[in-house]
Amino acid sequence: MRRSAIRASAWVLMMGAAAAGSAQETAQGLPNIVIVYADDLGYGDLSSYNPNSAYETPHLDRMASEGVRFTDAHSSSTICSPSRYSLYSGQQVCRTGRGSRAFEGPGGPSYLTPDTLTIAQMVQRKGYRTGVFGKWHVGLTWYDEAGERLGGGFENSLLIDYGRSTPLVDGPNARGFDVSFVTPNCPTTDPLYCYIENGMVPVPASERHDPGRLPNADGKWRWDNDKGWMAPGYRFIDADLLFFRRTVAFIEEHRNENPEQPFFAVLSTQISHAPVLPAKEFEGKSGAGARGDFVVELDALMGRLLKKLDELGIDEDTLVLFHSDNGPETLHTIWMREDHGHDAAGGFRGMKRDGWEGGHRVPLIARWPGRIPAGRVTRQLANTTDLVATVASLVGFDLPDEVAVDSFDLLPAMLGTRSDEEPIRPYMLTQSFRGEFQIRVGQWKYLAHMGSGGNGYDKGPLKAFALPETAPEATGQLFDLARDPGETTNLFFENEARRKELQALLEALTAKGGRTAPLGRVPLGMDRILRRK
């Protein structure tokens, strides 16, 4: 084990031992924190980001008008599992030494190893009670009856020995969450279809799921609902209503039992991942088809969450963060453009899996009444990895240099104490479907690969969106996003000096033991965050 990993592991152990004794002392005066993490929601999927949206998202628009909206925020990866690793760890998936993949079946083990300090463990150390609800999808360890670890694959679900596998050694409760109600993979796409509650599986997956029993609006929106093994009574159509109710129950129960202790909750939604299965009450609500209804459902749940915080009298004591794990799904993007004139990618090139902007530029909104100035819009560069350092800064947690190595503190951008002319991030990494890298430095973006890095644009429905290659002999792509936000003109040869500069920087940042975050990060702390009238 590397020396840095040993130090990080020791820090995690020390943190766990000290948490119980210091909880009440450290938690005093700290805000509640709720992260709502959407799935496959593109930059153009909210009406606050897209004036030409085919539907309205009034609750998320209100959240933006009462807080801060980031216009240059990015997921760390263009697929879900690596982005979720980044949300919890503050690191790019390349730091795991493993490939970039989305888990299915009993796939694992977790990207979050025992020596990874998670955002949940961090806030636990500061006295928070923690909960996570919805999609987990960072890998899990499952065993068969012989005690052998199972690999992915839908059929392997039948080989799980639940007695040997639970409590899960790398589930949410082993990674800093006091309470959890999650699904192992995509809740309605990738079997195994079962619920995991506090590390246990109340009902094993024992029935074969038949996609044909689910609705299929316009004969296509059920796409990507895979056959596989499910638990009896498993719910597909109202998955997010279930996750939302569990989140609210956690908040209400905690407020009733421990009103002086802050809470940290993650609601990881299924919306707007395939298949598109809006709950019954939202059918036809958007005027923009099934996927429009789906996003309107997510917006409504955000409205209900904000209302609940107000009813409980904790609205001004709660930071709410809204973010997405990657850009919009390919066929969803195409069908919404064709059927409803709606561009889920917000005018950017690319979609989910792609290294172009449409694959990873996503919404990021933060709301904290009385602390974050209302109506802020910032151009500061931001990444999913940054939520760890931002929360650490807020709660006064000193991040060791060896953890969250790709995480920058965005609090100054949220609070309006740092101008957009003073970049918080000097550079940013993202990774596409195959794990290939993209790097941003100011207006410049370099992709260390040709093509999308994810989807194929040479045939099928995506061929209509292929752009001519302006530097066919190049081995990578260089774009000036200030002049060319659509990434149409590859400057690989034209600006050789800039390209070599970014190539060298990328090599240094991604080397073994590399990092992008600064050393010696100092938290801001609540005593320096003014309450605004």
Whether 186 is catalytic: no
First vs last C-alpha separation in the chain = 51
Q: Which pLDDT does position 18 carry in this prediction?
A: 43
Whether 137 is catalytic: yes
Q: Which pLDDT does position 189 carry in this prediction?
A: 95
Q: Which of 137, 254, 323, 332 is catalytic?
A: 137
Domain-wise residue ranges, the chain? 3-528
Instruction: Go through the chain and tell me how many residues it has.
Output: 533
Neighbours of 465 (CB within 10 A): 18
Q: Which pLDDT does position 530 carry in this prediction?
A: 87
Number of H helices, E strands in the chain: 12, 17
User: Scanning the structure block, which residue is given the tokens 């605004």?
Assistant: 532
Q: Does domain 3-528 correspond to CATH entry 3.30.300.30?
A: no
The dihedral through the CA atoms of 330, 406, 116, 14 has a sign that is negative
Q: Which pLDDT does position 28 carry in this prediction?
A: 72
User: Scanning the structure block, which residue is given the tokens 């000290």?
Assistant: 18
Q: Which pLDDT does position 22 carry in this prediction?
A: 42
Residues 6+ apart with CB under 8 A from 394: 30, 31, 33, 319, 411, 523, 524, 525, 526, 529
Residues 6+ apart with CB under 8 A from 402: 4, 5, 7, 8, 11
The amino acid present at 223, given as its one-letter code, is W
Residues 6+ apart with CB under 8 A from 405: 90, 91, 95, 514, 515, 516, 517
Q: Give the chain's radius of gyration (CA, Å).
A: 22
**Cα–Cα distance measured from residue 25 to residue 19, given in angstroms and rounded to the nearest whole number:** 10
Q: What are phi and psi of 403, to 5 degrees?
A: -120, 160
Per-residue pLDDT in tens (0 to 9) along the chain, 533 residues:
333 444 444 444 444 444 443 444 457 799 999 999 999 999 999 999 999 999 999 999 999 999 999 999 999 999 999 999 999 999 999 999 999 989 999 999 999 999 999 999 999 999 999 999 999 999 999 999 999 999 988 889 999 999 999 999 999 999 999 999 999 999 999 999 999 999 999 999 999 999 999 999 999 999 999 999 999 999 999 999 999 999 999 999 999 999 999 999 999 999 999 999 999 999 999 999 999 999 999 999 999 999 999 999 999 999 999 999 999 999 999 999 999 999 999 999 999 999 999 999 999 999 999 999 999 999 999 999 999 999 999 999 999 999 999 999 999 999 999 999 999 999 999 999 999 999 999 999 999 999 999 999 999 999 999 999 999 999 999 999 999 999 999 999 999 999 999 999 999 999 999 999 999 999 999 999 989 87
SS3 of 186, please? coil
Q: Which pLDDT does position 153 carry in this prediction?
A: 85
Q: Which pLDDT does position 491 carry in this prediction?
A: 98
Q: Which pLDDT does position 233 carry in this prediction?
A: 96
Q: Which of 59, 74, 80, 323 is catalytic?
A: 80
CA proximity to 399, closest of 90, 174, 3? 90
Neighbours of 507 (CB within 10 A): 13
